[in-house]
């Protein structure tokens, strides 16, 4: 009997099991036009899924003040450049929308002040000499 109402099974498949499932489930000669199993052997569970997970850890070391300052400067530079692009984009959009130079100057100054205040509140992982920063990547695929 072909009961498709069951939830898919999540399991780790070996290479042999995976190739056998592909061979049986994807061969149209094993199935009737109405979807019933007519192949040899027991009906395969074609709705079986495979779960693959991966875990990777990398530790960054900051033995000197120079290495810590370089890390901090990279983040500050990325935040600053993003803010500059946002301010320039807003100023250009307001200038094109209003068609006025005075309005764009006022909006540009206001946007710059707001941008600077928002940049000051952005937190990022600042480090100091002797610190270790551990990056962990976890992936799970179904």
Check if the beta carbon of residue 45 is closer than 8 Å to that of residue 77: no
Q: For the chain, what is the mean pLDDT?
A: 79
Q: Identify the band that residue 142 occupies on the pLDDT scale cut at 50, 70 and 90.
A: low
HSE-up of residue 26 (Cα within 13 Å, Cβ side) = 6
Same domain, 46 and 59: no
Q: Which tokens hold the place of 64?
A: 């000197």
Check if the beta carbon of residue 54 is closer than 8 Å to that of residue 11: no
**4 in any annotated domain:** no
CA-nearest of 55, 52, 53, 42 to 15 is 52
Query: Does pTM top 0.85 for this prediction?
Result: no
Q: Identify the band that residue 88 occupies on the pLDDT scale cut at 50, 70 and 90.
A: confident
CA-nearest of 113, 123, 55 to 87 is 113
Same domain, 126 and 70: yes
Q: Which of 30-34, 61-65, 69-73, 78-82 has the lowest mean pLDDT?
A: 78-82
Same domain, 24 and 89: no
**5 in any annotated domain:** no
Question: Residue 16: which domain range?
Answer: 10-50
What phi, psi does 111 have (nearest 5°)? -65, -40
What phi, psi does 122 have (nearest 5°)? -75, 125
**39 in any annotated domain:** yes
Distance CA 76, CA 119 (A): 9
Q: Identify the band that residue 133 occupies on the pLDDT scale cut at 50, 70 and 90.
A: confident
pLDDT confidence of residue 11? 63
The total number of structural domains in the chain stands at: 2
């Amino acid at each position: 009997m072909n009961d498709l109402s069951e939830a898919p099974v999540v399991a780790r498949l070996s290479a042999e099991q995976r190739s056998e499932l592909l061979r049986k489930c994807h061969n149209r000669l094993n199935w009737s036009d109405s979807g019933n199993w007519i192949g040899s052997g027991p009906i395969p569970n074609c709705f079986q899924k495979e779960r693959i997970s991966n875990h990777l850890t990398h530790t960054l070391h900051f033995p000197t003040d120079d290495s810590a300052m370089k890390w901090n400067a990279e983040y500050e530079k990325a935040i600053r450049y993003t803010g500059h692009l946002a301010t320039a984009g807003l100023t250009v959009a307001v200038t094109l929308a209003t068609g006025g130079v005075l309005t764009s100057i006022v909006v540009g100054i206001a946007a710059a002040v707001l941008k600077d205040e928002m940049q000051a509140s952005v937190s990022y992982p600042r480090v100091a000499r002797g610190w270790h920063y551990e990056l962990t990547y976890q992936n799970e695929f179904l």
